[in-house]
Amino acid sequence: MPPRFSLRTRASGVLLHPTSLPGSHGVGDLGDGALRFAEQLASLGQSWWQMLPVGPTGWGNSPYSARSSFSGNPLLLSLHRLLDKGVLDPGDVVPVPGLVPGRVDYPEAGRFKEARLRRAFEEFERRGVPADFETFRAETPWLADDALYSALAGTRGGAWWDWDPGIRGRDPDALERARKDLAREIQFHEFVQFVFDRQWRRFRDHCASIGIGLIGDVPFFAPSDSVDVWAWQDHFDLDETGRARTVAGAPPDPFNWDGQRWGHPQYRWDVHRERGYAWWIERLRITFRRFDAVRIDHFIGFHRSWAIPASSPTAKEGAWAAGPGAEFFEKLHAALGPLELIAEDLGIVPAQVHELRDRLDLPGIRVIQFGLLGDEGASIHLPPKYPRRCVAAPGTHDNDTAAGWYASVQDPAARDRVRRTLSADDRDVPWAMVRAVMASPADVVIVPMQDVLGLGSEARMNVPGVPEGNWDWRIPEGALTPGLLARFRDVTRETGRTPGGRPG
């Protein structure tokens, strides 16, 4: 087992999804580039590498709409690792031509990798299934449904609620026939997850050996077209055809009079409670096999969520639905023991959310961008007011970069207020934001890699509410210059965040 990493230790790290690593196959992966990046973090005095969810990306290439809460994203698989295993030839791992520099090409990377994974599977079959593959299948309870769903989705297409009634309703005889008809395709998807498991283990073990802990991310909701909703239909608010009755979103506010309609089906918490929260507990069990700490997105959902009738085109007709509260966490900890969890408590949340967070003794999140221009109520996001028990950052994956954010501030008085707060001139404001967060009382600071590199809005990872053009940023070639890295190493040391540094 990897050493236990603690969110109570004064430390820092970076936010970088593995897809954003450089590489020659259209997307970053778990190969040597990931190991080298972890080594680079360790050399800079960092202790944490935070990522976005690592499941198979869903609609809009979003890792927050993954089609499975349990399986790993095949795009993250290193083809060079398969070359090393002898199931691919050197010609299979040549660079993909015509890629746009500094961007993930999801369609091309997907086509390229799937073709080579299928070649590797053929060689895997030819050699005979090894014993450790059979052990993996036997010890991975979610794999049977996941691989069957992947095979069905690949052959039938469309949404699962439009499949034939037997498969849609999970009739045992229909499922058994499908398993027989699609046996080889199912085994291919099992093979892909077997490879992901082995590559992730190697990656995580290497990170742990050099003192880098991994922070994962669990979305609160699951998308309708996921294996989770298909396999656990009674746990979600669905009608008899498998379609959502009520969906998730956010209520209207002064910034969006229609509210936000996300479309994910609401949970039936009564069923989750009756089943001992088995789906949620297994979801987090698998996540903690990959990560040392986990951020729970939309933590407010455990208190309440905005439930919208699926027939409503906007979120105006919604109503608050109660979540399970502390009871869920009592069951979770009884099943899994102490866990390093982070409560994503950003935005406008009622006091009960902070009370639940504090009752559970979880760190919340502080973001300096929200404090520099906010009203008096947003001052909790200014570094001098951070509690020790929090995870602080210049921005999250949903924010602009520090440089891009400051460039968007057009009001001269507001810009002057930012400069005075940070004691910085125009050119130095973005880095001063990083330095201020690093110098704060927060136990843990996570800096987006874009801010380490001083990049602008062109490097933004996601713009909420914009359906296309997100999640595709990659580290540009040559961006990791010695000067920028030395600056980050120096501020880490000066603020006592290197391993063994001064207490906060």
CA gap 258, 358 in Å, rounded: 32
Q: Is residue 311 one of the residues assigned to a domain?
A: yes
Query: Does residue 327 lie within any of the structural domains?
Result: yes
Residue 39 within a domain: no
Given a contact cutoff of 8 angstroms between Cβ atoms, the answer to whether 225 and 58 are in contact is yes
pLDDT in tens, 373-418: 877 678 999 999 999 999 999 999 999 999 999 999 999 999 999 9
State residue 58's pLDDT score: 87
pLDDT of 502 higher than 50: no
In the chain, helix, strand, coil percent, each to 5? 45, 10, 40
Q: For residue 389, with 0-12 CB atoms within 10 Å meaning exposed, 13-18 middle and 19 or more buried, which class applies?
A: middle
Q: How far is CA 335 from CA 238, 276, 278, 332, 362, in A?
A: 28, 10, 10, 5, 18
The answer on pLDDT for 100 being more than 50 is yes
pLDDT beyond 60 at 1: no
User: Would you call 146 exposed, middle or buried from its count of C-beta atoms within 10 A (0-12, 13-18, 19+)?
Assistant: buried
Domain presence at residue 367: no
Q: 9: which residues sit within 8 A by CB, 6+ positions away?
A: 47, 443, 444
In a domain, residue 286? The reply is yes
pLDDT at 315 over 80: yes
Element (H, E) at 216: strand 213-218
Q: What is the pTM of this model?
A: 0.96
What is the average pLDDT across 201-211? Answer: 97
pLDDT (average), residues 295-323: 96
The reported pLDDT for the residue numbered 143 is 98
Q: Is 257 helix (H, G, I), strand (E, B) or coil?
A: coil
pLDDT tens readout for residues 428-453: 999 999 999 999 999 999 999 999 99
Residues taking part in catalysis: 297, 344, 398
- Check pLDDT > 70 for residue 2: no
Q: Which of 109, 94, 95, 79 is nearest to 195 (CA)?
A: 79
- Residue 293, domain extent: 232-362
pLDDT of 466-498, one tens digit each? 888 999 999 998 899 999 999 999 999 999 999
What share of the chain has pLDDT > 70, as a percent?
98
In a domain, 210, yes or no: no
Give yes or no for residue 501 having a pLDDT over 80.
Answer: no
pLDDT by residue (tens digit) across 209-243? 999 999 999 999 999 999 999 999 999 999 999 99
Length of the chain: 504
| Distance set, CA 231 to CA 89, 126, 146 (Å) | 37, 32, 9
* Pair 52, 64: CB distance under 8 Å: yes
Does some domain include residue 150?
no
Count structural domains, the chain: 1
Q: Is residue 325 part of a domain?
A: yes
More confident residue, 40 or 378: 40
